Protein backbone atom coordinates (compact mmCIF):
# COMPACT_ATOMS: atom_id res chain seq x y z
CA UNK A 1 0.00 0.00 0.00
CA UNK A 2 1.28 3.45 -0.89
CA UNK A 3 2.17 5.49 2.19
CA UNK A 4 -0.08 8.46 2.91
CA UNK A 5 0.19 11.92 4.48
CA UNK A 6 -2.51 13.86 6.35
CA UNK A 7 -1.64 17.46 7.29
CA UNK A 8 -3.78 18.99 10.07
CA UNK A 9 -3.78 22.80 10.13
CA UNK A 10 -5.53 24.91 12.76
CA UNK A 11 -4.92 27.43 15.56
CA UNK A 12 -3.57 26.56 19.01
CA UNK A 13 -6.20 24.55 20.86
CA UNK A 14 -7.88 23.26 17.71
CA UNK A 15 -7.22 19.70 18.83
CA UNK A 16 -4.70 18.86 16.10
CA UNK A 17 -2.71 16.61 18.43
CA UNK A 18 -5.79 14.77 19.65
CA UNK A 19 -7.11 14.25 16.13
CA UNK A 20 -3.70 13.13 14.91
CA UNK A 21 -3.59 10.55 17.71
CA UNK A 22 -6.99 9.22 16.63
CA UNK A 23 -5.97 9.00 12.97
CA UNK A 24 -2.72 7.35 13.93
CA UNK A 25 -4.66 4.77 15.96
CA UNK A 26 -7.08 4.15 13.08
CA UNK A 27 -4.52 3.79 10.31
CA UNK A 28 -1.16 3.15 11.94
CA UNK A 29 0.26 6.49 10.83
CA UNK A 30 3.30 8.02 12.49
CA UNK A 31 2.07 11.06 14.44
CA UNK A 32 4.55 13.74 13.44
CA UNK A 33 4.22 16.33 16.21
CA UNK A 34 6.44 19.24 15.20
CA UNK A 35 5.88 20.92 18.56
CA UNK A 36 7.63 18.00 20.29
CA UNK A 37 10.67 18.50 18.07
CA UNK A 38 10.62 22.23 18.74
CA UNK A 39 10.10 21.87 22.50
CA UNK A 40 12.98 19.42 22.77
CA UNK A 41 15.22 22.01 21.11
CA UNK A 42 13.81 24.72 23.37
CA UNK A 43 14.79 22.77 26.48
CA UNK A 44 18.34 22.15 25.28
CA UNK A 45 21.16 23.72 27.26
CA UNK A 46 23.05 25.52 24.51
CA UNK A 47 25.54 28.30 23.80
CA UNK A 48 24.50 28.45 20.15
CA UNK A 49 23.23 32.05 19.60
CA UNK A 50 20.80 30.92 16.89
CA UNK A 51 19.15 28.40 19.19
CA UNK A 52 19.23 30.87 22.09
CA UNK A 53 17.28 33.39 19.99
CA UNK A 54 14.83 30.65 19.01
CA UNK A 55 14.34 29.83 22.70
CA UNK A 56 13.64 33.50 23.49
CA UNK A 57 11.05 33.70 20.69
CA UNK A 58 9.37 30.53 21.92
CA UNK A 59 9.03 31.83 25.48
CA UNK A 60 7.43 35.04 24.13
CA UNK A 61 4.78 33.09 22.24
CA UNK A 62 6.29 33.82 18.83
CA UNK A 63 7.03 31.29 16.13
CA UNK A 64 10.52 29.89 16.14
CA UNK A 65 12.49 30.83 12.99
CA UNK A 66 10.63 28.91 10.24
CA UNK A 67 13.76 28.08 8.26
CA UNK A 68 15.36 26.57 11.35
CA UNK A 69 12.28 24.51 12.18
CA UNK A 70 11.95 23.37 8.57
CA UNK A 71 15.49 21.99 8.66
CA UNK A 72 14.62 19.93 11.76
CA UNK A 73 11.35 18.74 10.22
CA UNK A 74 12.78 17.72 6.84
CA UNK A 75 15.41 15.60 8.57
CA UNK A 76 12.75 13.60 10.42
CA UNK A 77 10.40 13.40 7.40
CA UNK A 78 13.13 11.73 5.37
CA UNK A 79 13.78 9.24 8.17
CA UNK A 80 10.13 8.32 8.83
CA UNK A 81 8.76 8.57 5.28
CA UNK A 82 10.82 5.61 4.13
CA UNK A 83 8.74 3.16 6.16
CA UNK A 84 5.53 4.84 7.39
CA UNK A 85 2.57 7.00 6.55
CA UNK A 86 2.50 10.30 8.46
CA UNK A 87 -0.11 12.52 10.07
CA UNK A 88 1.21 16.02 10.86
CA UNK A 89 -0.21 17.99 13.79
CA UNK A 90 2.22 20.92 13.90
CA UNK A 91 3.37 21.48 10.34
CA UNK A 92 3.28 23.30 8.04
CA UNK A 93 3.32 26.53 10.07
CA UNK A 94 4.38 29.19 7.56
CA UNK A 95 4.57 29.76 3.81
CA UNK A 96 8.34 29.49 4.08
CA UNK A 97 8.16 26.14 5.86
CA UNK A 98 5.52 24.87 3.44
CA UNK A 99 7.70 25.86 0.52
CA UNK A 100 10.59 23.83 1.93
CA UNK A 101 8.67 20.85 3.31
CA UNK A 102 5.92 20.30 0.71
CA UNK A 103 8.21 19.36 -2.20
CA UNK A 104 9.95 16.84 0.07
CA UNK A 105 6.64 15.28 1.12
CA UNK A 106 5.39 15.16 -2.48
CA UNK A 107 8.66 13.59 -3.60
CA UNK A 108 8.51 10.87 -0.94
CA UNK A 109 4.78 10.11 -0.98
CA UNK A 110 3.39 11.41 -4.30
CA UNK A 111 1.05 14.42 -4.43
CA UNK A 112 -2.18 12.35 -4.77
CA UNK A 113 -1.33 10.74 -1.43
CA UNK A 114 -1.07 14.04 0.48
CA UNK A 115 -4.26 15.40 2.15
CA UNK A 116 -4.78 18.72 3.97
CA UNK A 117 -7.36 19.20 6.76
CA UNK A 118 -8.25 22.60 8.24
CA UNK A 119 -9.66 22.34 11.79
CA UNK A 120 -11.33 25.72 12.29
CA UNK A 121 -11.60 27.22 15.80
CA UNK A 122 -12.25 30.88 16.75
CA UNK A 123 -10.00 33.01 18.95
CA UNK A 124 -12.05 32.94 22.16
CA UNK A 125 -12.43 29.16 22.04
CA UNK A 126 -8.73 28.76 21.24
CA UNK A 127 -7.67 30.91 24.20
CA UNK A 128 -10.13 29.24 26.57
CA UNK A 129 -8.95 25.76 25.64
CA UNK A 130 -5.25 26.56 25.87
CA UNK A 131 -5.40 28.34 29.21
CA UNK A 132 -7.26 25.41 30.78
CA UNK A 133 -5.64 22.45 29.02
CA UNK A 134 -3.22 19.96 30.55
CA UNK A 135 -0.65 17.61 29.05
CA UNK A 136 0.81 14.39 30.38
CA UNK A 137 4.29 14.55 31.81
CA UNK A 138 5.67 11.46 30.10
CA UNK A 139 4.64 11.83 26.47
CA UNK A 140 2.88 15.20 26.29
CA UNK A 141 -0.47 13.73 25.29
CA UNK A 142 -2.93 16.65 25.21
CA UNK A 143 -5.83 16.53 27.69
CA UNK A 144 -8.47 19.01 26.49
CA UNK A 145 -10.62 21.11 28.80
CA UNK A 146 -13.71 19.01 28.06
CA UNK A 147 -16.21 17.68 30.65
CA UNK A 148 -15.21 14.05 30.08
CA UNK A 149 -11.66 14.84 31.28
CA UNK A 150 -12.55 17.17 34.17
CA UNK A 151 -11.87 14.78 37.04
CA UNK A 152 -8.94 12.73 35.77
CA UNK A 153 -5.51 13.25 37.30
CA UNK A 154 -3.41 10.84 35.22
CA UNK A 155 -3.03 10.37 31.49
CA UNK A 156 -5.47 7.76 30.10
CA UNK A 157 -2.84 6.69 27.54
CA UNK A 158 0.26 6.17 29.68
CA UNK A 159 -0.77 6.80 33.31
CA UNK A 160 1.65 9.67 33.85
CA UNK A 161 0.92 12.85 35.83
CA UNK A 162 -1.07 15.62 34.16
CA UNK A 163 0.51 19.10 34.24
CA UNK A 164 -0.19 22.59 32.95
CA UNK A 165 2.35 24.30 30.72
CA UNK A 166 3.62 27.56 32.22
CA UNK A 167 3.45 29.24 28.80
CA UNK A 168 -0.30 28.63 28.46
CA UNK A 169 -1.43 32.06 29.73
CA UNK A 170 -4.19 34.17 28.19
CA UNK A 171 -1.74 36.86 27.07
CA UNK A 172 0.57 34.38 25.38
CA UNK A 173 -2.32 32.51 23.78
CA UNK A 174 -3.70 35.68 22.20
CA UNK A 175 -0.26 36.38 20.75
CA UNK A 176 -0.12 32.84 19.43
CA UNK A 177 -3.58 33.08 17.86
CA UNK A 178 -2.67 36.31 16.07
CA UNK A 179 0.57 34.69 14.95
CA UNK A 180 -1.48 31.80 13.58
CA UNK A 181 -3.70 34.18 11.57
CA UNK A 182 -0.73 36.14 10.24
CA UNK A 183 1.68 33.31 9.51
CA UNK A 184 0.00 29.89 9.48
CA UNK A 185 -3.50 30.46 8.05
CA UNK A 186 -2.02 31.69 4.71
CA UNK A 187 -0.54 28.19 4.27
CA UNK A 188 -4.08 27.03 3.41
CA UNK A 189 -4.05 29.32 0.39
CA UNK A 190 -0.59 28.03 -0.50
CA UNK A 191 -2.01 24.51 -0.72
CA UNK A 192 -5.07 25.68 -2.66
CA UNK A 193 -2.83 27.46 -5.16
CA UNK A 194 -0.87 24.22 -5.48
CA UNK A 195 -4.06 22.41 -6.48
CA UNK A 196 -5.06 20.78 -3.22
CA UNK A 197 -8.63 20.44 -2.00
CA UNK A 198 -8.82 21.39 1.68
CA UNK A 199 -11.02 19.39 4.04
CA UNK A 200 -12.64 21.98 6.34
CA UNK A 201 -13.92 20.83 9.75
CA UNK A 202 -15.62 22.77 12.55
CA UNK A 203 -13.27 22.23 15.50
CA UNK A 204 -15.68 23.64 18.10
CA UNK A 205 -17.40 20.28 18.59
CA UNK A 206 -16.84 17.26 20.84
CA UNK A 207 -13.68 15.33 19.98
CA UNK A 208 -15.49 12.37 18.45
CA UNK A 209 -17.63 14.61 16.22
CA UNK A 210 -14.54 16.39 14.91
CA UNK A 211 -12.91 13.02 14.28
CA UNK A 212 -15.95 11.78 12.37
CA UNK A 213 -15.99 14.92 10.22
CA UNK A 214 -12.27 14.61 9.48
CA UNK A 215 -12.78 11.01 8.41
CA UNK A 216 -15.82 11.88 6.32
CA UNK A 217 -13.94 14.72 4.64
CA UNK A 218 -11.10 12.39 3.72
CA UNK A 219 -13.63 9.89 2.44
CA UNK A 220 -15.12 12.64 0.26
CA UNK A 221 -11.75 12.94 -1.44
CA UNK A 222 -12.33 9.35 -2.55
CA UNK A 223 -8.93 8.14 -1.49
CA UNK A 224 -8.88 4.42 -2.36
CA UNK A 225 -6.61 3.32 0.51
CA UNK A 226 -8.73 5.07 3.14
CA UNK A 227 -12.11 4.25 1.66
CA UNK A 228 -12.68 0.90 3.34
CA UNK A 229 -12.09 2.31 6.82
CA UNK A 230 -13.78 5.69 6.55
CA UNK A 231 -17.47 6.14 7.34
CA UNK A 232 -19.62 7.34 4.46
CA UNK A 233 -20.91 10.38 6.36
CA UNK A 234 -21.15 14.11 5.83
CA UNK A 235 -17.89 16.00 5.19
CA UNK A 236 -17.05 19.32 3.59
CA UNK A 237 -14.24 20.36 1.28
CA UNK A 238 -13.34 23.67 -0.24
Domains plus CATH for the chain? 5-132+171-227 (3.40.50.300), 134-167 (no CATH)
Rounded Cα–Cα distance for residues 151 and 172 (Å) = 26
- Beta-strand relationship, 198-202 and 114-120: parallel
- The answer to whether the Cα torsion of 125, 130, 132, 135 is positive or negative is positive
> Three-state DSSP class for 208?
helix
Is pLDDT above 90 for 47?
no
Query: Hey, how many other C-beta atoms are within 10 angstroms of the C-beta on 48?
Result: 10
Predicted local confidence at residue 210, as pLDDT: 96
The pTM (predicted TM-score) of the whole model is: 0.78
Sheet holding 86-88, edge to edge: 30-32, 86-88, 5-9, 114-120, 198-202
Is pLDDT above 70 for 225?
no
Is pLDDT above 50 for 235?
no
Is pLDDT above 50 for 231?
no
Q: CA of 122: how far to CAs of 13, 31, 60, 177, 208, in Å?
A: 10, 25, 21, 9, 19
Amino acid sequence: MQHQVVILIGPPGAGKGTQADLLAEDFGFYHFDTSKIVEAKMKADTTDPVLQQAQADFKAGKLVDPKLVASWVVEVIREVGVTQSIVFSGSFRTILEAGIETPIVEELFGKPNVHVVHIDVGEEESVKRNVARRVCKANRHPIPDFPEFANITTCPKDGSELVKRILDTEETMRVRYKTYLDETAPVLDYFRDRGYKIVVVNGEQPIRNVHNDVMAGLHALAHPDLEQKLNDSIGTTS
